[in-house]
Amino acid sequence: MVPHLITALTGPINELEQRILDSMPAIERWFRLEWMEHTPPFYTSVDIRNAGFKLAPVDTNLFPGGWNHLTNEMLPLAVQAAMAAIEKICPEARNLLIIPESRCNNTFYLSNVLQLQRIFNMAGLNVRVGSISPEIKKSTVVTLPHGETVTLEPVIRTKGRLGLKHFDPCTILLNNDLSAGAPGILEDLHQQYLLPPLHAGWTVRRKSRHFQSYEEVSKRLGKLLGIDPWLINPLFSRCESVDFDDDASMEVLRSAVDAQLTKVRRKYKEYGINEKPFVIVKADNATQGMGVITVRDAKDLDGLNRKARHKLAGIKDGQTVHDLIIQEGVLTRERVHEAVAEPVVYMMDRYVVGGFYRMHAERGVDENLNAPGASFVPLAFKHSTQMPQPGARPGASAPNRFYMYGVVARLAMLAASYELEATDPEAEVYD
């Protein structure tokens, strides 16, 4: 499946694709040197938007939950990457315990857990799924939509270790983003490897900190490529301590939105872009597309009804929102079956292993697609994303476009590694 890109055959995005292809050896060397200095997150997914005039990540997930959308053709890449990741962390690993979200009744989510179990099993590990949900008091078999089953078992904590009955893992894989906070049962596991670490969860993590790191690495890659980093970087600002029921607080938010829209208009004018700028206002620590609204004019905030304010103020697991990120909106000009679509790239360790298009028939080009009603189409990774086709006309080759997406996704993954280093509670601090 190669989506139709609704944009001109010439223009900034194709020039960017050509620049990236021409610079491929330099780009790969640059990433290789970065990974010598920085540890990639264990696994990552990145939502990307292609506006035809710029290409940028809009969200980076450190607990990706859509592994079931990867096709069988993508699994060998994922298995090889899993082998490399585990080998670096615990070469003698035998047992792996997956800790999923506590949504025991969400069979679509559990299909993702089963796929992860399959990947690590093929990587040479005994893999079981341990639930920290109070609802799981005994071994529970859940039947999934396609007739497969996944077994959830209650986790047992003994001193400094976490395991199951008759199952002692050396490595624990979290597929739980800790939106409700880090439960005590996961703390102080000094005898086992916990991946990703607790500070990768939304208890600590902030989108604004991630995009601050992304801005840093995009400037460096932009300098390497000789491009304006804005072409791969969404502008953003942060608005703290927002009270949606307080007029003065909302006025501060309106001013911040207006300032951001002014910056975007300036860039559009610089590049001769005849589109209406917009920003995405979302919770700084939100996940799964919750707490997100599109704002095209600061005055739009005056008319926010109770439902819209509630949408912004409340996110997953009943958490209340006060800190917001105001992010430059990036249009999506891609279509699959006439529905607007955006690529989501999946990585494990430092490798791109696959991805899919998230599409939504009821959403517009300037709206969040990670919402109820979204559907998924696998990316056409028949060729490895690491094998572009130099010489093909920009915009005409799927492998070339996906290679470009892979570069931007890996850049977001690198930003996440910077972010995790900055928030690591065990990192040494030097004066």
Can you spell out the DSSP letters for 28-44? HHHHHHHHHHSPPPSEE
Tokens of 411: 């850049």
The architecture (CATH level 2) of 235-329 comes to 2-Layer Sandwich (3.30)
Can you spell out the DSSP letters for 112-161? HHHHHHHHHHHTT-EEEEEE--TT--S-EEEE-TTS-EEEEEE-EEETTE
pLDDT at 234: 97
Q: Which of 276, 273, 278 is nearest to 261 (CA)?
A: 278
Please check whether residue 336 is in contact with residue 3, taking contact to mean a CB–CB distance below 8 angstroms.
yes
3-state secondary structure of 85: helix
The ranges assigned to domains in the chain are: 1-61+205-234+337-385+396-424, 67-200, 235-329
Q: What does the pLDDT profile of the chain (431 residues) look like in tens digits?
A: 344 444 433 456 778 888 998 999 999 999 999 999 999 999 999 999 999 899 999 999 999 999 999 988 889 999 999 999 999 988 888 999 999 998 778 899 999 999 999 999 999 999 999 999 989 999 999 999 989 999 999 999 988 899 999 999 999 999 999 888 888 889 888 889 999 999 999 989 999 999 999 999 999 999 999 999 999 999 999 988 887 777 788 888 899 999 999 999 999 999 999 999 999 998 888 666 566 888 998 888 877 666 666 666 655 555 667 889 999 999 998 888 888 999 999 999 999 999 999 999 999 899 888 888 899 988 765 444 445 666 666 555 566 788 899 999 999 999 999 999 999 988 754 43
Kind of pairing between the strands at 126-131 and 193-195 = unpaired
Can you spell out the DSSP letters for 249-260? HHHHHHHHHHHH
Q: Hey, what CATH class is 67-200 in? A: alpha beta
CA 43 from centre of chain: 10
